[in-house]
Chain A
Amino acid sequence: NAGVTQTPKFQVLKTGQSMTLQCAQDMNHEYMSWYRQDPGMGLRLIHYSVGAGITDQGEVPNGYNVSRSTTEDFPLRLLSAAPSQTSVYFCASSYLGRGRANTEAFFGQGTRLTVV
């Protein structure tokens, strides 16, 4: 059982480049989300999904796109990278509902992105 797997672990991009951060979970969780964490700061929600085919914006969605074609995968796409997007990106997944409002969220190890 791998849990939540993020790839790559490190990435350097040039301004204007695009790329996709991958996130996969093998726990059959409905809920998946992406966060960014800037140095010394808390996590900010970018996008989230409550199931395949359903996505929605979080607190800081500008400059990012997501899709959820399967339960397992929730890729995050940077459309045109900017230095302000230099951050650590975390993907998380959890069950939704099942009689509990917020179930335990499992996080990946993060992707450290630098945009130069």
Chain B
Amino acid sequence: LAKTTQPISMDSYEGQEVNITCSHNNIATNDYITWYQQFPSQGPRFIIQGYKTKVTNEVASLFIPADRKSSTLSLPRVSLSDTAVYYCLVGDQRNAGNMLTFGGGTRLMVKP
């Protein structure tokens, strides 16, 4: 399984755009990149998933360069309610033992 590296924590202010980068140098050809959000005392919640280039949904955008060795989760105009831990996952549930493993995540603090 490709290991991921993310910043431990980030601070931002309301209304700003936040970009969280995840490094995954050993990503395999079939691996997808998935991001989850977790609030205190809750289970993680799926945000976005992609394989290459750019993916956008109503919550966030995911940028993946051509070499796929990193990815960036972009949260536009964050609010206080975006304060959470964000996890980057890389893998393929169909192979590699079907394991979906989490790293340490990035703790985002949004300030007023």
Contact = CB atoms under 8 A, between A and B. Distances in A.
B32 A105 contact: no
Nearest to B98: A50
Contacts, number: 80
Interface residues of B, number: 29
Contact of B91 (A58, A101, A103, A106): A101
A26 interface: no
Interface residues of A, number: 30
Nearest to A90: B43
Q: Give the 7 A-B residue pairs with the shortest CB-CB distance, closest first.
A: A107-B43, A104-B46, A101-B92, A43-B102, A101-B32, A42-B104, A42-B102
B93 A102 contact: yes
Contacts of B101: 44-45, 58-59
Nearest to A50: B98
A102 B105 contact: no
